[in-house]
DNA sequence: CAGAATCCGTTTAGATACTG
DNA sequence: CAGTATCTAAACGGATTCTG
């Protein structure tokens, strides 16, 4: 009872937007950044505290990518005090849900993944 | 009404397994491969049909990574006909759910993401 | 404050050709 | 059938230093 269902001739026609999945969910710091912005707009220097393990250059790169894809907005302020504020756009906020699902899965199966890696020996 | 909640001092302590998210969900072909295996075990040559846009080398690389992390099993057969069969492990199958959520999000917001990109102009 | 400049190393992808 | 070999290229991340 194998090979029950036939496969489509081209998986890309079937699930084309799935190319966005590795692209957006593959960003190494995106999940962390989005979560930092969940509670409201933050300045660059504010983000650097919880993300102090990310160098400013890399943090900027990630923010730029998120901005480019419309997930995060960037606003330069001068009024209260000069600074730049990043915030989630509605689109960015909508991504929190599938991202949470992914994080929950990762947290739940963390041990299994680590174990599998340790037991694995290259062919 | 900004900056409502204070941010943690280190986001990595809060959400450490989230580093697995970009790692596993960032694999460019993983989503497609997992879906091809959803209906049962498949041979390498069977996978090459729906994934004909992926070169055999890259397909092998992706399969190896999935195998290493315990998401896919690899079995060499000789009985009915010689061949190698790939199948989802229970762990791999458990990843379909968050992956589906991610794919659904990507499909739903595909247009917005594309639009945002086109409108974006580098700083 | 919010980054940019520079340099570097690793990881992945892709094309092409070939093999036990 | 199920890959491997080789080469190329790009993307990404990281460390360090510097600046409007």
Give residue-wise pLDDT tens across range A47-101. 999 999 999 999 999 999 999 999 999 999 887 788 899 999 999 999 999 999 9
- Give the per-residue pLDDT at B12: 86
3-state secondary structure chain A: CCCCCCCCCCHHHHCHHHHHHHHHHCCCCHHHHHHHHCCCCEEHHHHHCCCCCCCHHHHHHHHHHHHHCCCEEEEEECCCCCEEEEEECHHHHHCHHHHHHHHHHHHHHHHHHHHHHHHCCCC
What's the CA A58/C1' D12 distance, rounded, in angstroms? 9
Q: Which nucleotide is nearest to A48 (CA to C1')?
A: C2
pTM summary value? 0.89
Would you write out chain B's pLDDT as a tens digit for each of its 123 residues? 444 678 899 998 877 777 788 889 999 999 999 999 999 999 999 999 999 999 999 999 999 999 999 999 999 988 778 899 999 999 999 999 999 999 999 999 989 998 998 888 877
Question: Domain residue spans in chain A?
Answer: 17-121
DSSP per-residue codes, B58-110: HHHHHHHHHHHTTSEEEEEE-SSSSEEEEEE-HHHHHTHHHHHHHHHHHHHHH
Residue B26, min C-alpha distance to chain A (Å): 3
Tell which strand D nucleotides have any atom below 7 Å from a protein Cβ: 1-6, 12-17
Do residues A3 and B4 touch, judged by C-beta distance below 8 A?
Answer: no
Question: B17-121: which CATH number, 1.10.10.10, 3.40.50.720, 3.10.105.10, 1.20.1560.10?
Answer: 1.10.10.10
């Amino acid at each position: 009872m194998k090979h029950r269902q036939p496969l489509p001739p081209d998986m890309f026609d079937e699930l084309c937007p799935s190319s966005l999945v590795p692209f957006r969910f593959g960003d190494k710091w995106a999940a962390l950044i989005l979560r930092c912005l969940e509670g409201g707009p933050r300045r660059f220097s504010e983000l650097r505290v919880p993300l102090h393990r990310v160098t400013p250059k890399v943090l900027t790169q990630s923010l730029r990518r998120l901005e480019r894809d419309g997930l995060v907005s960037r606003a330069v302020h001068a009024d209260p005090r000069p600074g730049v504020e990043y915030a989630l756009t509605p689109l960015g906020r909508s991504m929190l849900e599938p991202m949470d699902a992914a994080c929950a899965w990762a947290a739940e199966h963390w041990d299994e993944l680590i174990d599998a890696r340790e037991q694995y020996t290259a062919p």
